Structure 1
Amino acid sequence: MAAASAARAPCIYLTHGGGPFPVIGGPGHAGLTKFLKAWPTSLPEPPKALLVVSGHWETAVPTVTSAPRPELIYDYHGFPPESYEINYPAPGDPQLADKVCSLLKAAGMECQKDAKRGFDHGTFIPLVLAFPKADIPVVQLSLAASLDPQLHIKMGEALAPLRDEGVAIIGSGSSFHNMPALFAAMGGMSEAGRAALQRSKTFDEWLQYVCTDPQLPYEKRAELLAGWRKAPEGQYSHPREEHLLPLHVCLGAGRGGAAKVVFDDLAMGVKCSSFQW
């Protein structure tokens, strides 16, 4: 892994869109695609490595990719042929994988390495747009299959020191992930589509409050996010929480401070946000 960087690398939770649509120009993704392409230009310097927590990989215990040259996993179905020809030959970083495991174990958590696992689309789709040269080493970290929100916040807290070594931590999911509602919203302004949009706005407003209000102490911020099911339209927005939990990791890795909203727009016909620490 590279030597320490002068500037702390960012930690960002981002909406990665529907399958390969951000890359191939799918409906309802123009704003998201524009954001993903422009985001790196806002950074004071490029990250030295990327640690991506994807909502598309769950294992019994947190697991990191440790292959020097991970392949791609096209874990989407029914898209145009060009969707399966997308290439992202970024190198892995076995040394960073070792460091991730060491930090998690030092904090009392289990961790495993997987030398065969490749990058799923929760990793390679946003990175194709954000870092198209594919010259920054990438390691992917799984969610724990327990989907315990407090565990994922603890994971982020343990991994926070990586940011001082120039490793950007990216939580890749979606701030709204109710698939029937997304299909309704992308299909136009039907009654169901309008309802999905309004309900997504309600939950997004709550998320922005929890993540960005400077008056909230970290303990309260973590308590609220861990209890997200009680939030207005929380369970509607996430019938299953795998696309939200990367945000919990990012909250912990943010070291307690308030985030800033870096994407605040419609994606797939509903309201979505991305947060950066």
Structure 2
Amino acid sequence: MNSESNILPGSVVYLSHGGGPLPLLGDKGHQILIREIAQTLAKPSAILVISAHWEEGKPTITSGASPALIYDYYGFPKESYEIEYPAPGSPELANRIFNLLGRAGIEAKLDDQRGFDHGLFVPLKLMYPEANIPCVQLSLINSLQPEEHIRIGKALADLRKDNVLVIGSGFSFHNLKEFFVPSTKAARAMNESFEQWLIDTCSNSQLTEEQREQRLKNWASAPAARYCHPRAEHLLPLHVCYGIAGTAAKKALEFEIMGKMASAYIW
């Protein structure tokens, strides 16, 4: 990855946040990737994270001033449940998001009790360890329809003018069972075929935006799509990111995590 700095303020990033807290427990691949992504970005005034680990019936926004952490993983060492990331919330940004969604005809909800899950605090502890940038988290919709998530993104496009960094925190490969069995040649081929489709879809500047959007809406028809994503929740933060950006990604980053190929995107 190139180390050029200061991509335009208001960047949009889709990244793979790793297996639970593993990036904070010494997983070097994720540490390097996430820190290098941060080095390419201008420092934001606030951060919005769309996490794969929060689904609601309607888009829901954390609006508390000091959200606690939610350790939404299990079976990890004791220190995994002692991680701290005391970033402030931003009721002001939460209300702006709520109003932007409402203006687009999308019914949303504010939640001043919900904390930050590991889709937020794991990557941000690596990217911005000082924990001094206000953060807000936005849920997915539990219907998991790609069209709805692109629409949410489009409604929030104006956030880029405010130097808000938007992070779609998911994983471009998320078949949990396959992480724990020996990889076969056929499995590797399916993993790579979906990754190449996704990289082309997100970063090929020769596609029209209508073509790109249709591909993302119909992602389940891509090669090996349901092998890589038996369920869509770790991919859909990317759809929100694309809706906000509305164009080809500036960078597509390929890497290997736990023996599987994955990718990240910067707009």
Same-fold status (TM-score > 0.5): yes
User: In 2, distance between residues paired with 1:95 and 1:236?
Assistant: 40
**Residue 162 of structure 1: aligned partner:** 159
**Residue 60 of structure 1: aligned partner:** 57
Give the percent of matched residue pairs that are identical in Structure 1 and Structure 2: 49
> Map of 1:40-189 to 2, 5 A cutoff?
40-43=38-41, 45-184=42-181
User: In 2, distance between residues paired with 1:133 and 1:215?
Assistant: 40
Q: CA deviation at 1:196?
A: 3.2
Q: Aligned-pair RMSD on alpha carbons?
A: 1.1
**Residue 202 of structure 1: aligned partner:** 193
**Residue 4 of structure 1: aligned partner:** none
CA contact (8 A) 1:208 1:261 kept: no
Give the letter for the 1:33 counterpart.
Answer: Q
Give the unaligned 5+ runs of structure 2: 1-7
Q: CA deviation at 1:160?
A: 1.1
CA contact (8 A) 1:52 1:123 kept: yes
**Residue 235 of structure 2: aligned partner:** 244
CA contact (8 A) 1:92 1:139 kept: yes
TM-score, normalised with respect to structure 2: 0.95
**Residue 28 of structure 2: aligned partner:** 30
User: In 2, distance between residues paired with 1:193 and 1:120?
Assistant: 33
User: In 2, distance between residues paired with 1:196 and 1:249?
Assistant: 28
Q: Deviations over 1:120-163 (max 9, x none)?
A: 00111000101100000000000011111001001111111101
Give the unaligned 5+ runs of structure 1: 1-6, 185-189
User: In 2, distance between residues paired with 1:156 and 1:31?
Assistant: 29
User: In 2, distance between residues paired with 1:197 and 1:46?
Assistant: 37
Give the letter for the 1:17 counterpart.
Answer: G
| Equivalent residues, number | 260
Q: Deviations over 1:27-78 (max 9, x none)?
A: xx422211112222112x2000000000000000000000000000000000
User: In 1, distance between residues paired with 2:185 and 2:19?
Assistant: 19
Change (3 A) 1:86 1:179: same
User: In 1, distance between residues paired with 2:191 and 2:21?
Assistant: 22
Q: CA deviation at 1:194?
A: 4.4
CA contact (8 A) 2:45 2:133 kept: yes
Q: Deviations over 1:228-270 (max 9, x none)?
A: 110001011000000000000001111x221033431101210
